[in-house]
Amino acid sequence: MTEVRWTVADQVLHAVLDGEATMNSIDPGVLDGLDAMMDAVDDDRSLRAVVITGAGPKAFSVGMDLDFLGRCFGDPDGVFLPFLDRFHRVLRRLEQLPVPVIAQVNGLARAGGFELILACDLVIAAHEARVGDIHIDFGVPPGAGSSQRAPRKLGDQRAKALMLTPRWLDGPTMVEWGLALATAPRADLDAEVERLLEGIRGRSRPVIAMVKRLVAAPQSVTIEEGLRLERDLFDRFIHEVPDAAEGFTAYVQKRPAVWGDADVRAFR
């Protein structure tokens, strides 16, 4: 059984998939934990980032728990499909959080663990990581988003190579393929993530949320629609969120900015 545990320090929520005995496998309790974690992010406007990693040195997450998977195949309509519907909702909520979600990939990630990585904004991977889709090895297609997210992040051919062959990516290959931003030896992984966080702390949370939303837009709209969305949201932001003027004023006055906590996710 895997639990989702987290701590908050210095504007960052650090979450751990804590189920080392099952290599941090995923079951309904994990989805409960991820939802509770995201509730905490919504409630704490001081947060600027979330980091998710797996417990122990071996795995980020190997995907669905085998005991629970047995129940799923025993009752597809009553257990499996409702679980996948909930998994989709959790991953979409993760993508829509107002702060960046960083996957700190410390080891093996496959199937549902791979799909969790794909829903994160930024990925820092250990050199020793091994990441793959491997649904086809079990005779099933992807069920929690990899068929749609992987082509958008990797391109069609690389996504198909991961989903149609028994291919595993280590940290350097994840960077080469565009799945990870950076890689480091496992012993230096915390420090590599910290270097990324240093550039995020102290920034305006409303601006961070707006950037996430705008960068996600090209996945579902044309370039013309995306540019119009950017223009319209910029208009609302300038008029309704004090952070815009505060950033300029603080720069001119050569003082630290004092950011607000406006929730811009309701902007249309």
Q: Give the residue numbers spanning the domain of 28.
A: 3-198
Instruction: For residue 155, name the pLDDT band (cuts at 50, 70, 90).
Output: very high
Q: In terms of Cα–Cα distance, which of 93, 91, 152 is closest to 116?
A: 91
pLDDT of residue 236: 82
Are 192 and 210 contained in the same domain? no
Structurally, how many domains does the chain consist of? 2
pLDDT of residue 227: 67
Angle at Cα 108 formed by Cα 106 and Cα 150, nearest 5°?
100
Indicate whether 154 pLDDT > 70: yes
Are 69 and 187 contained in the same domain? yes
Indicate whether 248 pLDDT > 80: no
Are 100 and 224 contained in the same domain? no
Residue 176: φ, ψ to 5°: -60, -40
Q: What CATH number has the domain bearing residue 123?
A: 3.90.226.10
Beta strands of 138-204 (E only): which ranges? 182-184
pLDDT of residue 232: 82
18-27, 76-85, 214-223, range with the lowest pLDDT: 214-223
pTM, to two decimals: 0.89
* Cα gap 235→237, rounded to integer Å: 6
19-48 mean pLDDT = 96
Percent of the chain with pLDDT over 90: 63
Are 119 and 233 contained in the same domain? no
Last residue of a domain, one of 156, 177, 198: 198
Last residue of a domain, one of 198, 219, 246: 198
215-239 mean pLDDT = 76
Are 98 and 9 contained in the same domain? yes
Tokens of 173: 């290959």
Are 217 and 160 contained in the same domain? no
169-190 mean pLDDT = 96
Q: What CATH number has the domain bearing residue 243?
A: 1.10.12.10
Q: What average pLDDT is seen over the chain?
A: 91
In sequence order, what are the residues at sequence separation of 6 or more whose Cβ sits closer than 8 angstroms to the Cβ of residue 93? 35, 38
191-212 mean pLDDT = 95
pLDDT of residue 194: 97
Are 189 and 260 contained in the same domain? no
166-186 mean pLDDT = 95
pLDDT of residue 249: 87
Q: Which position has the higher pLDDT, 124 or 70?
A: 124
Are 120 and 158 contained in the same domain? yes
Instruction: For residue 93, name the pLDDT band (cuts at 50, 70, 90).
Output: very high
The H or E element that residue 240 is part of is helix 223-240
pLDDT of residue 263: 83
Are 177 and 233 contained in the same domain? no
* Cα gap 207→214, rounded to integer Å: 10
Are 29 and 88 contained in the same domain? yes
Judge whether 183 and 124 are in contact, CB under 8 Å: yes
Last residue of a domain, one of 178, 198, 218: 198
Instruction: For residue 246, name the pLDDT band (cuts at 50, 70, 90).
Output: confident
Q: How many CB atoms lie within 10 A of CB 77?
A: 7
Are 93 and 131 contained in the same domain? yes
pLDDT of residue 268: 65
Instruction: For residue 169, name the pLDDT band (cuts at 50, 70, 90).
Output: very high
Angle at which helix 205-216 crosses helix 223-240, to 10 degrees, equals 170
Judge whether 57 and 106 are in contact, CB under 8 Å: yes
Indicate whether 231 pLDDT > 90: no
Tokens of 139: 């005779």
Judge whether 166 and 173 are in contact, CB under 8 Å: no
Which position has the token pair 């979600």? Answer: 101
The DSSP call for residue 219 is G
Indicate whether 241 pLDDT > 90: no
132 to 115, 135, 180, 217, 219: CA distances (angstroms): 10, 9, 13, 26, 23
* Cα gap 37→52, rounded to integer Å: 10
Are 120 and 245 contained in the same domain? no
